[in-house]
Structure 1
């Protein structure tokens, strides 16, 4: 994986490096290379005890605003009688269709 490191020269003859987007990842070194190496070590330490994940925010809400029926999707997924219900609906539709043909 690649991470961006922001390196800044400090007036006290030191360099400060921080990993972009990672909180608490600020290190100091005597040289630019040392600061980068320390930043890499700090990131490796943080990643050893945690992980970076990607989340999506707002898409679900906007999808529900587009189609309000989405919040009802899957509500019968664990209902053991739902397949029987669908069979009854299909039989009723078939019966109505046959009656319309004869009328």
Structure 2
């Protein structure tokens, strides 16, 4: 932080790209498909795991086993749903993520 005061903003691995993730409310974000899974994990304090993909869009495609279509929803982990809202050139460009809390889980 002191170094940033002297030389300006320094990006490091703990920084989350806010151009890729936008908070909607306490449990909802909208993210670009090329957002790094690590950023989503840190943002929501969750553990999304993907065998071969590092991006959110890739993890969704891996889970579905095919290219996602707008409106498709997958569960990433136990408590995070991802809905593809927009696609462009075979890539998810807008994904809505909702973290399920204890109060939002069915009884």
TM bucket normalised to smaller: under 0.3
Superposition TM-score, scaled by structure 1 size: 0.26
Superposition TM-score, scaled by structure 2 size: 0.26
Relative contact order, higher structure (CA 8 A, sep 6+): 2
| Richer in strand (by share) | 2
Q: Which is higher, the Rg of structure 1 or of structure 2?
A: 1
